[in-house]
Amino acid sequence: MSNVRLVPAPIEMVYDEVTMNAEEFEREYSQMSESDEDPIGQWLKLAKARGDTSESDPVMLNLMVELYRKMEKLEQILTMSTPKRLSLTHLANIESIGFEHFKLTNGMLEAGKRYYGRIEMPIHPKREIAVYFEAIDASLAKITQIHDRDEKEWASYMTARERVMIRQLKGRE
């Protein structure tokens, strides 16, 4: 697979092979969708669609939404009602990413097998994304299923990492 373009991006991921737990993985994947995970984001989208935010400062509105999310997270911690996530057995470091692929630092995958994982995205606001992927070889994987919003954030993060790499290469010349 020499036509896969990857850029360095140090990210952590937890994952497990999709076997008998397939229904549990699918349930968690569905729960991590945009509508279930982010009710304030859904409210904001609806308000924007209705035109209710046309006279609001977009930066201030986004900051207020982020403050609300932080308060919600603090409330979850205080009431010990954090969203329950499945316990995934493998922890791996991703060394590089592409638009549809990623490469692990250590080859722990089995070619042709299907996996489910959660990736902690180093973006603002920080959050986990759920993905299904298939191992191409021991360290290279192809993302087979990802939510639309997560796919956009993955692609923009990949592009940002690519820009950093280009700037570093230009600095060496």
Examine the pLDDT at 151 and tell me if it is beyond 70: yes
**Structural domain includes residue 55:** no
Q: Tell how many helices (H) and how many strands (E) occur in the chain.
A: 5, 6
Per the domain annotation, does 19 fall within a domain? Answer: yes
Domain span including residue 143: 7-36+84-172
Q: Considering the domain boundaries, does residue 68 fall inside one? A: no
The number of domains in the chain is 1
Q: Which tokens go with 35?
A: 């509508």
In contact, 134 and 141? CB cutoff 8 Å: yes
Q: Assign 62 to helix, strand or coil.
A: helix
User: Would you say residue 118 lies in a domain?
Assistant: yes
10 Å CB burial of residue 126 (0-12, 13-18, 19+) is: exposed
Q: Please tell me the predicted confidence (pLDDT) of residue 168.
A: 86
Quick check: 112 and 133 in contact, CB under 8 A? no
CATH number at residue 166: 2.40.10
What would the pLDDT profile of 13-36 be if each residue is shown by its tens digit? 999 999 878 999 999 998 887 555
Q: What is the pLDDT of residue 131?
A: 96
Burial 33-57 (b: 16+ CB within 10 A, else e): eeeebbeebeebeeeeeeeeeeeee
Q: Is residue 146 part of a domain?
A: yes
Residue 81, pLDDT score = 73
pTM of the model: 0.76
Cα–Cα distance for residue pair 85/126, rounded to 1 Å:
16
Answer yes or no: is 70 within a domain.
Answer: no
Position 55 confidence tier, pLDDT thresholds 50, 70, 90: confident
Q: Is residue 77 part of a domain?
A: no
Is residue 46 situated within a structural domain? Answer: no
CA atoms within a 13 Å half-sphere pointing along the CA-CB vector of 155:
9
The pLDDT of residue 34 is: 58
